[in-house]
Amino acid sequence: MIELPLLPIKRKLKSIAVLTSGGDAPGMNAAIRAVVRFGISQHIQVYGVHKGYSGLLEGQIEPLYASSVANIIQRGGTILKTDRCEAFFEKSTRKEAAHILERKEIDALVVIGGDGSFTGASLLETETGFSTIGVPGTIDNDVAGTEDTIGFDTAVNTAIEAIDRIRDTASSHDRIFLVEVMGRNAGYIALLTGVGGGAETIVVPEHRKPTKVSIDAISKTVERGIKRGKSSSIIVVAEGNTPGFTQLIAAELEKKGHAAKVCILGHTQRGGTPTAHDRHLASVMGASAVMYLLNGKSNGMVGVRDDKIQLVPFSKVIGKTKPFPDEMLRFAQVLAV
Ligand code: F6P
C-alpha cells in the first residue's frame, strides 16, 4: 500500500495554492481535498486557483477551507475546473503569474496535471524562483517518473465495463468489434483494458508504425481466431494521434472480408466516480506534495515507484518517454488464443 512519506519539516509555509491543469481525471478532487486538509493540519492557508493557469493569470484565486472540499472525494472532474493554457508558453506570462501569486503572499503552487502542465510549473520555478510541485493527474498514465497517475485506474475500469457490455452483442451476433479507447501518445489504457477485457488483440501508438503493417497483423489475428472457431472478436485500439485510425482499420478489415463495428469510448473514460485505488493514490499524492514543500523540496513531481512515493525532479519528467511494457503486450497476445 502506498503511504505518506514522513519527512522532517525544514521550511515554514504560510500559504500555498493548488490548481488543476490539462485534461480532467477522476481522482483530481480527492487530490485537491488532500492538499487542502493536509495543508490545514500543518497550519497552512490553502488557496484554490480556478481554471488552471488561465484562471491564475486572471487572478481567480480563492481561499479553501476544510468545508470547501467536503463531499468531493467521490466526484469525478475537478471542482477547481481546468484548461489547457497556450498563453503560459510565454515567459512574460509566467513572470506575471509569479507576481500574482506573490501579491497574494502565496509561498508555493501545487499543480495537478500531466506533462504539459509540469512544463509550465517547472519553467515558472526556474525563471522566477517561485516554488512549484507537481501531482500527476491524467487518465493516460503517460507521465515519466511515476508508475501510476491519478485517473488511470478509473479510466481502465470504465473501458473494461464497456467491453463487457459490448462482448454480449459481439457474441450474440458473431461480430468483430473495434473498441477505441483514449491515449493520444500512449497505449497504457489500451493495454490494461485489453488484458482485463480479454481482447483478441491490442493496438497501441507505440507499435503502430508503419500503419499498414498494423492492419495486416490485426487481420491475421482475426483470421487465426476464425480458424480456431472464434465467432466474435474484441480488438482494443488506442486512439493515437491519427484521427479516424480505428475506422481505417475497420475499412481495411472489411476489404479482407471481415466486417467490424467500431465503438469509440471517448470522454466516457474521463468522467465518473473515481475507483478506491485512485482515491487512495490521489489522497496520498496530494498530501505528499505538501509534505515535500514543508521539507524544502520543489521543482519536481510526486511520483510512485515500487509502491513508494518519491519526488522526481521535473527535469527527469518533462518531455521524457515512459518505457512501454512490451512484455505485457506479448503476454496479452498469449492469453488471447
Ligand atoms: O490526456 C488525456 C486525454 O484524455 C487523451 O487521452 C486524449 O487524447 C485527450 O486528453 C483529449 O483531450 P480533449 O478533452 O482536450 O479533447
pLDDT band at 198 (very low <50, low <70, confident <90, very high): very high
Give the pLDDT of residue 201: 92
Q: Ligand 1 atom 8: the closest Cα is on which residue?
A: 184
Same-domain pairing of 229 and 126: no
Same-domain pairing of 120 and 76: yes
User: How does the average pLDDT of the chain come out, rounded?
Assistant: 95
Ligand 1 pocket, residue 184 CB under 6 Å: yes
Same-domain pairing of 41 and 105: yes
Q: How far is the CA of 25 from the centre of ligand 1 (A)?
A: 10
Q: Is residue 3 part of a domain?
A: no
Give the pLDDT of residue 215: 80
Give all strands (DSSP E) within the chain, no chain letters.
15-20, 45-49, 61-64, 108-113, 131-136, 176-181, 201-203, 233-238, 260-264, 300-305, 308-313
Same-domain pairing of 94 and 134: yes
As beta bridge partners, residue 309 has 304
pLDDT band at 207 (very low <50, low <70, confident <90, very high): confident
Kindly report, residue by residue over 214-235, the tens digit of the pLDDT. Answer: 788 888 888 888 888 888 999 9
Q: What is the CATH number of the domain that holds 265?
A: 3.40.50.460
Q: Is residue 322 part of a domain?
A: no
Q: Which atom of ligand 1 is nearest to the CA of 183?
A: 6
Same-domain pairing of 187 and 244: yes
d(CA 287, CA 3): 10
Residue ranges making up the domain that contains 130: 15-151+274-316
Tell me which of 39-43, 206-210, 253-257, 308-312 is least confident.
206-210
Average pLDDT over residues 266-275: 98
Give the pLDDT of residue 261: 97
Q: Is residue 238 part of a domain?
A: yes
Same-domain pairing of 34 and 96: yes
Instruction: Report how many domains make up the chain.
Output: 2
Give all strands of the β-sheet with 108-113 in edge-to-edge order.
61-64, 45-49, 15-20, 108-113, 131-136, 300-305, 308-313
Residue 183 has pLDDT above 70, yes or no: yes
Kindly report, residue by residue over 68-99, the tens digit of the pLDDT. Answer: 999 999 999 999 999 999 999 999 999 999 99
Q: Is residue 101 part of a domain?
A: yes
Q: Is residue 253 part of a domain?
A: yes
Q: Is residue 331 part of a domain?
A: no
d(CA 17, CA 157): 31
Give the pLDDT of residue 337: 81
Contact criterion met (CB below 8 Å) for 109 and 57: no
Angle between helix axes 188-197 and 152-173 (nearest 10 degrees) is 50
Q: Which three cell numbers stand for residue 74?
A: 467521490
What are the catalytic residues?
A: 140
Average pLDDT over residues 322-332: 94
Same-domain pairing of 137 and 228: no
Closest CA to 191 of 93, 10, 47, 325: 325
Kindly report, residue by residue over 122-138, the tens digit of the pLDDT. Answer: 999 999 999 999 999 99
d(CA 242, CA 336): 26
Q: Is residue 217 part of a domain?
A: yes
Same-domain pairing of 138 and 44: yes
Give the pLDDT of residue 217: 85
Q: Which atom of ligand 1 is nearest to the CA of 184?
A: 8
DSSP 3-state helix, strand, coil percentages of the chain (rounded to 5)? 45, 20, 35
Contact criterion met (CB below 8 Å) for 84 and 116: yes
Q: How far is the CA of 105 from the centre of ligand 1 (A)?
A: 34
Same-domain pairing of 131 and 24: yes
Same-domain pairing of 24 and 105: yes
Ligand 1 pocket test, pick from 140, 150, 192 with the greatest ligand atom count within 8 Å of Cβ, gives 140
Give the pLDDT of residue 242: 85
Q: What is the CATH number of the domain that holds 102?
A: 3.40.50.450
Average pLDDT over residues 232-247: 92
pLDDT band at 210 (very low <50, low <70, confident <90, very high): low
Q: Which atom of ligand 1 is nearest to the CA of 186?
A: 6
d(CA 148, CA 29): 17
Q: How far is the CA of 23 from the centre of ligand 1 (A)?
A: 6
Same-domain pairing of 180 and 298: no
Ligand 1 pocket, residue 23 CB under 6 Å: yes
Residues in the chain: 337
Same-domain pairing of 48 and 133: yes
Q: Is residue 183 part of a domain?
A: yes
Ligand 1 pocket, residue 182 CB under 6 Å: yes
Q: How far is the CA of 63 from the centre of ligand 1 (A)?
A: 29
Average pLDDT over residues 37-46: 98
